Amino acid sequence: MTEEPQGQARPTKPSRIGEWLAPYVPEYFPVAWKLGLSISLLILCGMTILGSLLLNNQLDRMRDQADTFG
Protein backbone atom coordinates (compact mmCIF):
# COMPACT_ATOMS: atom_id res chain seq x y z
CA MET A 1 0.00 0.00 0.00
CA THR A 2 1.69 3.17 -1.18
CA GLU A 3 0.69 6.47 0.24
CA GLU A 4 0.89 9.66 -1.76
CA PRO A 5 2.64 12.68 -0.29
CA GLN A 6 0.27 15.25 1.11
CA GLY A 7 -0.41 18.28 -1.00
CA GLN A 8 0.04 16.48 -4.31
CA ALA A 9 -2.97 15.58 -6.40
CA ARG A 10 -3.19 12.36 -8.31
CA PRO A 11 -3.02 12.85 -12.08
CA THR A 12 -6.36 12.09 -13.66
CA LYS A 13 -6.91 10.43 -16.99
CA PRO A 14 -8.30 12.98 -19.48
CA SER A 15 -11.66 12.12 -20.93
CA ARG A 16 -12.67 12.54 -24.55
CA ILE A 17 -15.08 15.34 -23.65
CA GLY A 18 -12.35 17.09 -21.71
CA GLU A 19 -9.95 16.82 -24.64
CA TRP A 20 -12.61 18.16 -27.00
CA LEU A 21 -13.53 21.11 -24.73
CA ALA A 22 -9.98 22.00 -23.68
CA PRO A 23 -9.29 24.54 -26.46
CA TYR A 24 -12.52 26.39 -25.67
CA VAL A 25 -12.23 26.58 -21.89
CA PRO A 26 -9.78 29.09 -20.41
CA GLU A 27 -7.52 27.93 -17.60
CA TYR A 28 -8.81 30.63 -15.26
CA PHE A 29 -12.40 31.82 -14.99
CA PRO A 30 -12.77 35.31 -13.54
CA VAL A 31 -14.95 35.63 -10.45
CA ALA A 32 -17.40 37.81 -12.38
CA TRP A 33 -17.99 34.99 -14.88
CA LYS A 34 -18.54 32.46 -12.12
CA LEU A 35 -20.93 34.78 -10.31
CA GLY A 36 -22.77 35.63 -13.52
CA LEU A 37 -23.14 31.96 -14.49
CA SER A 38 -24.38 30.94 -11.05
CA ILE A 39 -26.94 33.77 -10.93
CA SER A 40 -28.07 33.00 -14.48
CA LEU A 41 -28.55 29.31 -13.66
CA LEU A 42 -30.45 30.20 -10.49
CA ILE A 43 -32.76 32.55 -12.42
CA LEU A 44 -33.24 29.98 -15.20
CA CYS A 45 -34.21 27.24 -12.72
CA GLY A 46 -36.52 29.56 -10.79
CA MET A 47 -38.28 30.80 -13.92
CA THR A 48 -38.69 27.23 -15.18
CA ILE A 49 -40.31 26.11 -11.93
CA LEU A 50 -42.50 29.21 -11.76
CA GLY A 51 -43.57 28.81 -15.40
CA SER A 52 -44.50 25.16 -14.93
CA LEU A 53 -46.55 25.97 -11.82
CA LEU A 54 -48.37 28.82 -13.57
CA LEU A 55 -49.00 26.73 -16.66
CA ASN A 56 -50.50 23.88 -14.62
CA ASN A 57 -52.66 26.33 -12.64
CA GLN A 58 -53.90 28.00 -15.83
CA LEU A 59 -54.73 24.66 -17.44
CA ASP A 60 -56.71 23.60 -14.36
CA ARG A 61 -58.68 26.86 -14.43
CA MET A 62 -59.43 26.52 -18.13
CA ARG A 63 -60.54 22.92 -17.62
CA ASP A 64 -62.83 23.99 -14.75
CA GLN A 65 -64.34 26.77 -16.88
CA ALA A 66 -64.93 24.34 -19.76
CA ASP A 67 -66.63 21.87 -17.41
CA THR A 68 -68.78 24.62 -15.89
CA PHE A 69 -69.77 25.99 -19.29
CA GLY A 70 -70.44 22.54 -20.77
pTM: 0.57
Per-residue pLDDT, averaged over 43-58, amounts to: 97
Using alpha carbons only, give the angle 55, 58, 64 rounded to the nearest 5 degrees: 140
Residue 12's pLDDT is what?
67
Residue 8's pLDDT is what?
67
User: How many helices and strands, by DSSP H and E, does the chain display?
Assistant: 2, 0
Going by C-alpha positions, the residue among 30, 50, 31 that lies closest to residue 42 is 50
